[in-house]
Chains A and B, each alone.
Chain A
């Protein structure tokens, strides 16, 4: 994140807390594009540009995972670019370049890209810079390229503007950032306390918003509420601005948010009565959800998108999902309904033996993903036997496709365009990626191979750095025991740090096994 003029200094002074953005990963961009009929460049050999890349915390893990692809990041904060470059050098990555450049100075020499990412830039820069970002997305994007843009929106920001007005004050630019942040927190705490027992809807809503801001780190509070620039707009207004640059709205980075089928039937009907195209449907969804932030994907205007997702669009995609069957062993043979429950509480029920077997398989592979073909093959075996797989009719296949589309639309499962970059089986000498290992050396916040942020527990943090494929259990145990002896790691017994000796070793052995399983389930192991 970065704005272009004096604001460069504010990002040097108060860095924005950065994390990897799974919604902005080229794999996500490619998957959404394919759902709507595009033929995107495979992400294992593509070119990616990030505008406002900060320290490269989003790009660096991608560059590690896709060594044949090229990654370019630009940012106006010199401090953050320098920090990112040091990390890249230490990792020895050759396919990524971070540049200290003003967005206004970007020109054709940058080349063309298959994926362009601008996260946390648009709403926080002056209008001329916003126009430049859109113009770069248009001019630097390959014909089947996809651009990701995130921005603040109304109606959610109507009330957040009140918070901004409260803490922004007169701008008070002569005061230090730390002083302004502390003052803002005092003011917000006053409102949180004053509105505490007020039952009025406004008071409840406003208190929720204030409490959410108070929970955020200082960097977020500063850049969202104390910067000079913050220009929320309505979704349809943003789309119109992108269209002026001959860009077309492709979809949401979280596609489940686009679908009216996630509303109760009467509300869905109301939505369809009010809207006649994808933009106006989503505008009305924003209105019902009081949405405040969007992560939107855009492509060239000339591309013809198919808005009706059919099973044919799923070809070549992979699926992953945590879909616990409600009964531990579902009945796969009969046509009795079986229900599957996602962590969000969303459910899907099906009487189809094939669908039940397929969803069961998806769940058993989590966090790994499976292809459509694998789903069918595994399901056929379950419905028959290894030697005589059950018969699957074309109707069954279509039905499965429709069910998968429904699961995607309701967010029960996720789709990917590429094979997993991690393993869930545990080897004798487990290996983690270099980026995660380096991150673990610096602190508990690491990026997993699904490009998600993960916070490590103490044991895993001490362990991950040494998972280089060269250490077996025995040597890992030694490392942990040394860490305990140096006082860097404490093992708790009944909440009290255990003392040295045999008991510690026993406990560490259990902790080690648990940690490795945990790291595998967190998609942090590559071998």
Chain B
């Protein structure tokens, strides 16, 4: 996340406290392509795409993508010289040749910038002045390929109304503060004052308290960036879209697919909403206001692109799907007509008694974290059911259609994830496991790594240590040797109950038990490439 304000002052702020950058899963080209395809676009293959990030900070979002897709090219732009220097250093250190970082003001971007299949601007729009916001939209319009997709995230109302209050009052409290340190401490004093004083059960007190409980957990970086920054410009969704339209850009989708049931209000409210307006943007605006939405991750494409309405089973064909589903009943029998319930780790549930559907869901759960092409899953489920009779009884086409519809509903319900490409990680470790190089580079420098799902993950010390060793040169036996040595040399701590283990024999025993699970865990966390 970064800032391209024209004021020098603002650039210096970022140099003072670097914002803790994180990968943004919903901004990765693979995901943008998925949304585009489901709406009937022909977006560029993420593996060979040209990607631009505005406000790239020190490259935390872009570098793992560049490492993952060596045939694709990446350009990151940020106004902070310090952040760009850090990004360039990291890219050079990893030997990446397909990524360029430039210290530049967005306002100074010119026509020779070139054309991009994907443009990402995360956390920029709300933190810059009006001229920069407008230039950001202009860059999307002029530098996006005809089938290109832009990701722009921003702070929205009504959610930011409460933050506006915090910001305004923090500024007031810091009116006599000298320097950042005093400003931060007066800001914290305000938060503590409100926490201690708003103690009734009135809705206002409860609303402020719920925001406070989140804010007080944040570090100085967050307070500094989100609440003490000079420029902050949250917008209503309708105003953001009006701005996009003046640059001949249209709404493609949102961070989520826009097909999820959670994207809508309850059916009665949706019906009432239809009577107030038939404009889809206005409806979204009203939903934001019902939900007190705080942030949006909006996907835009050219006005000229003809978009189709929500996804169909037809458009799921050619896509990959994935789900970490488990049946509540471990002995699930796909052939029986008994209803079974399946749950995701996130607590989403689906129940069905239809054997064909049960077979498909069981298979999805079995192969996870692997993905499977949509049609292949249908074929596998069909084969499983047909194999239960001798001779096999063909499943009628109506049953197949029903399965496809049900899978589509699972996508809508968030139970199944859709991808436009096969996984860029290996679902299970090979005999010489190999970790994603970017993650290994990060693990050598800290406990937070970026997975191949493009999510930040905080590693336990053991996993961090292991990740550094799995470079493809060691098999399980060698890994065990090296881990044991690390324990005896005191570089890695292993415990036997409450007891700190130092002896090689006991360490090896414990490690050999733990290693297979740890390797599976790395695979499931999308950190292994072989």
Query: Which residues from chain A sit less than 8 Å from chain B, CB to CB?
Result: 154-155, 158-159, 161-162, 165-166, 186-187, 190-191, 193-195, 200-206, 208, 234, 236, 263-264, 266-267, 270-271, 273-274, 283-284, 287-288, 290
Q: Judging by beta carbons under 8 Å apart, are B203 and A190 in contact?
A: no
Q: Which residue of A186, A195, A201, A284 is within 8 Å of B193 (Cβ)? A: A284
Least Cβ–Cβ distance between B398 and chain A, in angstroms:
38
Tell me if B395 counts as interface (CB < 8 A to partner A).
no
14 CB contacts below 8 A, A to B, read A155-B165, A159-B161, A162-B157, A162-B161, A162-B289, A200-B292, A204-B203, A208-B203, A234-B169, A267-B199, A273-B193, A274-B173, A274-B193, A290-B204
Q: Which residue of B165, B193, B203, B210 is within 8 Å of A154 (Cβ)? A: B165
Tell me if B276 counts as interface (CB < 8 A to partner A).
yes
Chain B binding surface, main DSSP class: helix
Q: What residue in chain A is nearest B157 (Cβ atoms)?
A: A162
Q: Judging by beta carbons under 8 Å apart, are A202 and B292 in contact?
A: yes
Q: Judging by beta carbons under 8 Å apart, are A194 and B165 in contact?
A: no
Least Cβ–Cβ distance between B183 and chain A, in angstroms:
16
Q: Cα distance A61–B207 when bound, in Å? A: 43
Q: Cα distance A381–B467 when bound, in Å? A: 92
B332-358 vs A, Cβ < 8 Å mask (1 yes, 0 no) = 000000000000000000000000000
Q: Cα distance A395–B190 when bound, in Å? A: 41
Answer whether A158 and B164 are a contact pair too, CB < 8 Å, given A190-B273, A201-B210, A283-B172.
yes
Answer whether A191 and B289 are a contact pair too, CB < 8 Å, given A158-B164, A186-B276.
yes
What residues on B are CB-neighbors of A284 within 8 Å?
193
Q: Cα distance A273–B207 when bound, in Å? A: 23
Q: Cα distance A287–B170 when bound, in Å? A: 12
Answer whether A165 and B236 are a contact pair too, CB < 8 Å, given A205-B203, A266-B196.
yes
Answer whether A205 and B204 are a contact pair too, CB < 8 Å, given A274-B193, A287-B194, A288-B197.
yes
In the complex, chain B residues 292-333 whose Cβ is within 8 Å of any chain A Cβ: 292
Q: Judging by beta carbons under 8 Å apart, are B165 and A191 in contact?
A: no
Q: Cα distance A283–B290 when bound, in Å? A: 29
Q: Which residue of B198, B210, B289 is within 8 Å of A288 (Cβ)? A: B198
In the complex, chain B residues 160-217 whose Cβ is within 8 Å of any chain A Cβ: 161-162, 164-165, 168-169, 172-173, 189-190, 193-194, 196-199, 203-204, 206-207, 209-210
Least Cβ–Cβ distance between B236 and chain A, in angstroms:
6
Least Cβ–Cβ distance between B160 and chain A, in angstroms:
9
Q: Judging by beta carbons under 8 Å apart, are A201 and B207 in contact?
A: yes
Q: Cα distance A190–B276 when bound, in Å? A: 8
B271-285 vs A, Cβ < 8 Å mask (1 yes, 0 no) = 011001000000000
Q: Cα distance A284–B286 when bound, in Å? A: 32
What residues on B are CB-neighbors of A187 within 8 Å?
276
Chain B's interface size range is 20 to 34
Q: Cα distance A159–B265 when bound, in Å? A: 21
Q: Which residue of B168, B194, B272, B286 is within 8 Å of A234 (Cβ)? A: B168
Q: Cα distance A274–B210 when bound, in Å? A: 21
Supply 10 further A-B pairs (C-beta < 8 A) apart from A155-B168, A155-B169, A274-B189: A190-B269, A190-B273, A190-B276, A194-B269, A201-B204, A201-B207, A201-B209, A202-B207, A270-B197, A288-B198
Least Cβ–Cβ distance between A221 and chain B, in angstroms:
17
What residues on A are CB-neighbors of B173 within 8 Å?
274
Tell me if B437 counts as interface (CB < 8 A to partner A).
no
Q: Cα distance A257–B13 when bound, in Å? A: 40
What residues on A are CB-neighbors of B168 within 8 Å?
154-155, 234
Answer whether A201 and B206 are a contact pair too, CB < 8 Å, given A190-B273, A190-B276, A267-B197.
yes
Q: Judging by beta carbons under 8 Å apart, are A271 and B197 in contact?
A: yes
Tell me if B158 counts as interface (CB < 8 A to partner A).
yes
Least Cβ–Cβ distance between B234 and chain A, in angstroms:
11
Answer whether A236 and B172 are a contact pair too, CB < 8 Å, given A158-B161, A194-B272, A288-B198.
yes
What residues on B are CB-neighbors of A186 within 8 Å?
276
Q: What residue in chain B is nearest A208 (Cβ atoms)?
A: B203
In the complex, chain B residues 209-230 whose Cβ is within 8 Å of any chain A Cβ: 209-210
Least Cβ–Cβ distance between A201 and chain B, in angstroms:
4
What residues on A are CB-neighbors of B276 within 8 Å?
186-187, 190
Max count, chain B CB within 10 A of own CB: residue among A158, A161, A200, A203 = A158
Least Cβ–Cβ distance between B100 and chain A, in angstroms:
41
What residues on A are CB-neighbors of B164 within 8 Å?
154, 158
Q: Cα distance A159–B165 when bound, in Å? A: 10
What residues on B are CB-neighbors of A155 within 8 Å?
165, 168-169
Q: Judging by beta carbons under 8 Å apart, are A195 and B194 in contact?
A: no
What residues on A are CB-neighbors of B194 within 8 Å?
287-288
Q: Cα distance A287–B164 when bound, in Å? A: 13
Least Cβ–Cβ distance between A212 and chain B, in angstroms:
13
Q: Cα distance A283–B198 when bound, in Å? A: 15
Max count, chain A CB within 10 A of own CB: residue among B169, B194, B273 = B169
Q: What residue in chain B is nearest A290 (Cβ atoms)?
A: B204
Q: Cα distance A204–B210 when bound, in Å? A: 13
Top 10 nearest A-B pairs by Cβ distance?
A201-B206, A201-B207, A204-B203, A205-B203, A158-B161, A202-B292, A162-B158, A290-B204, A194-B269, A155-B165
Least Cβ–Cβ distance between A175 and chain B, in angstroms:
15
What residues on B are CB-neighbors of A264 within 8 Å?
199
Q: Cα distance A190–B209 when bound, in Å? A: 27
Least Cβ–Cβ distance between B478 and chain A, in angstroms:
54
Q: Cα distance A161–B161 when bound, in Å? A: 9
Least Cβ–Cβ distance between B283 and chain A, in angstroms:
11
Q: Cα distance A158–B157 when bound, in Å? A: 10
Max count, chain B CB within 10 A of own CB: residue among A202, A267, A273 = A202
Q: Judging by beta carbons under 8 Å apart, are B272 and A190 in contact?
A: yes
What residues on A are CB-neighbors of B273 within 8 Å?
190
Q: Which residue of A158, A165, A206 is within 8 Å of B165 (Cβ)? A: A158
Least Cβ–Cβ distance between A183 and chain B, in angstroms:
9
B248-281 vs A, Cβ < 8 Å mask (1 yes, 0 no) = 0000000000000000010001001100100000
In the complex, chain B residues 97-123 whose Cβ is within 8 Å of any chain A Cβ: none
What residues on B are CB-neighbors of A208 within 8 Å?
203
What residues on A are CB-neighbors of B204 within 8 Å?
201, 205, 290
What residues on A are CB-neighbors of B290 within 8 Å?
191, 194-195, 203
